[in-house]
Every structure is written in C-alpha cells, then in structure tokens.
Structure 1
Amino acid sequence: MFTSAAMFFNGAEEAVEFQCPVQETGLTATIEELMSLLQEGNSNSNSGSPNSGSEGSNGRGVYSLDERKRRRMTSNRESARRSRWRKKRHLEDLTEEANRLKMENRELKNRLGLVAQKCYVTWRENERLESESLALWARLSDLNQVLVAMQTMRSQY
C-alpha cells in the first residue's frame, strides 16, 4: 500500500497537502488520475482572484467574488419567483373566495326576495281576513239583534 498526495488551498491561500492511503489494485491509476484532476481544479479556481477564500469553516467550497455574486443573483431570482408565485396563488385564492361570496350573496338575495314576496302575500291575506272578520262580526251583530227582536216579539204574544 502507498499514499497519494492531494493539495488543497485554505482561506489564507496556503497549500495544504493531504496524504491519502491507496491500495495497490487495478484502480490505483484511476484514483491517482482523479486526485490529480481534483488538485488541478482547486489550483485553477484559487489562482485567479485575490478576493477568493473560504466561505467559513462550514464546509462550503471556495468561491470567487463573481461566483458568489452569480449565486446570490440566482438565489434572489428564485426567491422573487417564489414570492411572485405566492402572490399569484394568494390572488387566485382571493378571486375564488370573492366569486364564492358573490354566488352566496346572489343566493341570499334570491331567498330574501322570495321571503319578502311571501311576506307581502301573507300581509295581503291577513288584511283580507281582517276585513272579512269585521264584515262577519258586523253580520253576526245584525243577526244577534234580529234574534233579540224575534225573542222579544215571541215573548209579547
């Protein structure tokens, strides 16, 4: 077994070399090739910008200023897209609720109209019955007077 070395750069632009144990198998050449590609990728991304550095010790990669700006713009665009989607969904929900309330209002107005019409019909029927009642009371009073007069006449004979 032998070790393969890979070089990485920390936030202070210092090269840090790691020793990676590699077993001697058929994959040794492939692993060494991958390690060298990884080393080339790190040295290329760190050599261009003086502002590049670690994003902290939280495990994020090393990003250039342009890369961070591009990522922030992408993040802002996505956030704005989600915000527009939420607003659109909220507007759709409000529109649906407004339509539902309009239908409910229309139904309630129709019911109110039917109740008002029934109320009017009942009121008119009540007036007619009161008038008929007065006429019947007057007729009953007349009949009562006729009956009293007939009884008075019978008692005289």
Structure 2
Amino acid sequence: MGSLSGTSSGSSLLQNSASEESDLKQVMDQRKRKRKRMVSNRESARQSRMRKQKHLDYLTAQVAQLRRENSQIITGISVFTQQYLNVEGENSILRAQLAELSYRLASLNEIVSFLNAGNECFGTEPFNSAESGDGFLSNSWNCVYLNQPITASADLLQY
C-alpha cells in the first residue's frame, strides 16, 4: 500500500505543480498585459501631448498672424483718418474761398447793375463834351454820380 500512496502523492504533486505552473503562467500573462497596457498608455499619452503641443503651436501662430493683421488695420485706419482730416481741412478752406468769391461776385454784380443803370442816363448817343455846354446836368457823365454818396475823410476836411 505504501507504493500506491506514493504514486498518488506523486500525481498530486504533478497536479499541484501543473496548477502552480498554470497560475504562474496566468500571473505572467497578466503582468505582460499590464506592461503592454502601460506601454500603450504611455504612447497614447505621448501622442496626446504631441497633438496638444501641435494645436498650441498652431493657435500661437494664428494669434501672431491676427496681431499682425490687427496692427496693419490700425495703421490703415490711422492713415485714412489723417487723410480724412487733411481733406476736411482743404474742404474748409475751399468753403471759405467760395464764400469770399461769392461775396466778391455779388459786389461785382451790384457794380455792373449800377453801371447798367447809369448807362440809361447816357441814352443811345455817345458822349460829346463840346456839345453840352449848359451845365452839370447836361453832361451825361454826371448821371453816374447822381446816385453816389459824397464821401469825405478827415484828411480832406483839414484843408
């Protein structure tokens, strides 16, 4: 009987060692999977960081480009504002010149209408000083002076 029990204990040892070996294999497989997952996770994290950095670089470049464009727009607005102010100043000068020229034109038109009214005194005959000898009113040139105010200055009154 001793031999039978030795055989059964040997087979149980074999079963135990096979079971331990199987357990050890499972543990090793789990460790391998765990290491593989860790490596995979690290690679995923590295790729994620790289994507984030790439996106950050893109956004930084975009910010720089937009700042350049903004600066150009501000410069353009400044130039156009200065041009506008220059044109506005020229326009103001031209308006003042227009007012002055309009006033001069109105004065010249008054003088022309006055001279035209004075020409009615002349009639159609040309002026001849030899023919008119009977006084102030007979001289047609004097008609121009009939409606003129007499002006005098203090210098003239001293003499």
TM range (shorter): 0.5 to 0.7
* CA–CA distance in structure 2, aligned partners of residues 143 and 51 of structure 1: 121
**Alignment gaps of 5+ in structure 1:** 1-45, 54-62
Choose between structure 1 and 2: higher strand proportion.
1
Q: How many residues are aligned here?
A: 103
Q: How do 1:52-63 residues align onto structure 2 when only pairs under 5 Å count?
A: 52=26
Contact 1:49/1:64 (<8 A) preserved: no
Instruction: Give the number of the structure whose alpha-carbon radius of gyration is greater.
Output: 2
Q: Which residue of 1 aligns with 2:120?
A: 155
TM-score relative to the length of structure 2 = 0.61
Select the residue among 57, 81, 101 that pairs with 1:116: 81
4+ long deviations beyond 4 Å: none
Percent sequence identity is 31
Q: What is the distance in 1 between the residues matched to 2:118 and 2:96?
A: 33
Match for residue 111 of structure 2?
Answer: 146
Structure 2 residues without counterparts, runs of 5 or longer: 1-19, 123-159
* Corresponding position: 1:94 with 2:68: no
- One of 50, 59, 69 as aligned partner of 1:104: 69
Q: Give, in whole Å, the separation in 2 of the partners of 1:156 and 1:74.
A: 121
Q: Match of 1:74?
A: 39
Query: In the aligned structure 1, how far is the partner of 2:23 from the partner of 2:87?
Result: 91
Query: What's the offset of the Cα at 1:47?
Result: 3.4
SS of residue matched to 1:66: helix
Give the structure 1 partner of residue 13 of structure 2.
Answer: none
RMSD: 1.9
> With structure 1 as the length reference, what TM-score do the two structures score?
0.62
Point out the structure with the larger helix share: 2
Post-superposition offset of 1:49: 3.5
